[in-house]
Amino acid sequence: MNVRKGTRGLLGAVAMASVLALSLTGCRGGAQSSGGGTAASPGITDTSITLGITTPLSGATAGPGTCTVAGAKAYFGAKNAEGGIKFGDGKTRKVDIKTYDDAYDPQKSLSNFQQMVSDNVFAEGIGLGTPTNRAFREAAISQKVPQVLVMTGDPIFSDQKQSPWQLGLVPAYQNEGGAFGKLLASSGGTHKVAILSQNDDYGKGYVSGFKDAIKGASNISVVGEQTYEATDTSVDAQITQLAATGADVFFNAMSITPLTIATLQKAQQIGWKPSWFLPSNTSSPTAILAPGGASAYPGIYSVAFSKAPQSPEFAKDQDVVKFLSDLKQYGNYQGMPAFPHCMWSYIAGATLDQAFQKMTDPTRDSFMKALRSIKGFNAPLMLQGTTVDTTMDGQPAISSVLVQKYNGKGYATAQKFG
């Protein structure tokens, strides 16, 4: 979920170079008869609608990518078993999901988008990754193919002027960083903060949100900052330098699962045990915190908008019970989710369901209009105090987050720092 410096131009050029080719293939299938007065867009009939998901299903990010597909299939599998979803035009349709593996490779995701157009998908979405989603954003705009509820905190996907056929799902990086900063500034205590961030839009977004939130807070000082490249295999040197600052709080704005585990282990090895702030996508209790030995620290904080099935407080929660059942039966995912992306894509499915119910015509235009009209929706699995609101230009479908504290098994909402 990051963009490397220097790649954006290349990716943009590749995407634009593909636009002409796509313009020849994108209308393949063209308008279809819906049996009514309005010509339907590709990928939708009177009885079905086809969605496409490109996401990593192999490689280093295959874990969260697989979760992404499983959650979406769980939601729509259950709806299909109930008979389908009643759309706003009065037709009841079942949802067909086509999945494509991009291995977190922008070139592959662009190729997958081209294949989706050939496969007549109605809309693309839900897949994770900033560089992979950016790789075909311009092509999707040119072809007027919805690219929605994507799992990246990059604000560009929620800017309607720049991205008229896009919408992000998860909170912007700045929102997550800001939530950490507000919690710390309101602690009343004096704290020294060390920051390690990915040297791209991902890391910069988190850091800027954090610094904006602590601006004017005299009790908070940033005593050390380091960066790393997304291609780095070790950050031991940075951890050693940051430990020397004596900071009691460490904000690790990191997106790479193995590196996050390694930083947790390295800090312990050198005897540095501050409280941690971790982004939502690299804070999995089972896949990251447990192998990293996170219980050794006084506090591990992350942010969330969805319930954590691993947490004892949600063991009997009706949403969680149904979700785990659907995930097993329709998502082909056994056991507890190792990554939050399973829950996020389930929420994305429920949000798309809302849009389908509001569509008055079987067209992509009608779909986008309906999708951008959802306000105050309490989707299944969402934490109390967070909702889906797609009406705010510049913000993703979910913009609110709650700071959570690791309790050894899962997370509980943190009322205060410490």
Residue 413 within any structural domain of the chain: no
Q: Tell me the pLDDT tens digit for each residue of 360-380.
A: 999 999 999 999 999 999 999
Side by side, which strands form the sheet with 48-55?
A: 85-86, 92-101, 48-55, 123-125, 147-150, 166-168
Same domain flag for 141 and 203: no
Q: Tell me if 250 is assigned to some domain.
A: yes
| CA-closest candidate to residue 165, choices 146, 189, 139 | 146
| Shared-domain flag, residues 153 and 90 | yes
Would 200 be classed as within a structural domain? yes
Residue 231 lies in a domain: yes
Q: What is the number of structural domains in the chain? A: 2
Q: Are 161 and 179 within one domain?
A: no
Taking a C-beta distance cutoff of 8 angstroms, is the pair 393, 159 a contact?
Answer: yes
Residues 70 and 141 in one domain: yes
First to last CA, the chain: 29
- Do 74 and 134 have their domain in common? yes
Domain encompassing residue 191: 174-304
Domain identity same for 270 and 329: no
pLDDT digits (tens, 9 = 90+) for 55-113: 999 987 888 899 999 999 999 999 999 999 999 999 999 999 999 999 989 999 999 99
Cα–Cα dist 69/2, whole Å: 20
**Res 22: pLDDT:** 40
Domain's final residue, options 259, 279, 304? 304
Residue at a domain's end among 304, 329, 354: 304
Report the CATH number at residue 278: 3.40.50.2300
Domain boundary among the residues 304, 328, 345 is at: 304
Let me know whether 139 and 70 are in one domain.
yes
Residue 29 lies in a domain: no
Same structural domain for residues 292 and 324?
A: no
SS (H, E, C) the chain: CCCECCCHHHHHHHHHHHHHHHHHHCCCCCCEECCCCCEECCCECCCEEEEEEEECCCCCCHHHHHHHHHHHHHHHHHHHHCCCEECCCCCEEEEEEEEEECCCCHHHHHHHHHHHHHCCCCEEECCECHHHHHHCHHHHHHHCCCEEEEECCCHHHHCCCCCCCEEECCCCHHHHHHHHHHHHHCCCCCEEEEEEEECEHHHHHHHHHHHHHHCCCCCEEEEEEEEECCCCCCCHHHHHHHHCCCCCEEEEECCCHHHHHHHHHHHHHCCCCCEEECCHHHCCHHHHHHHHCHHHCCCEEEEECECCCCCHHHCCCHHHHHHHHHHHHCCCCCCCCCCCHHHHHHHHHHHHHHHHHHCCCCCHHHHHHHHCCCCCECCCCECCCCCECCCCCCCCCCCCCEEEEECCCCEEECCCCC
pLDDT of residue 200: 84
Do 344 and 392 lie in one domain? The reply is yes
Whether 192 is covered by a domain: the verdict is: yes
Same domain membership, residue 157 and residue 118: yes
pTM of the shown model: 0.82
Task: For residue 24, tell me if it sits in a domain.
Answer: no
Low-confidence ranges of the chain (pLDDT < 50): 1-35
Based on the domain organization, do 178 and 294 belong to the same domain? yes
| Residue 408 within a domain | no
Is residue 165 domain-shared with residue 77, that is, in the same domain? yes
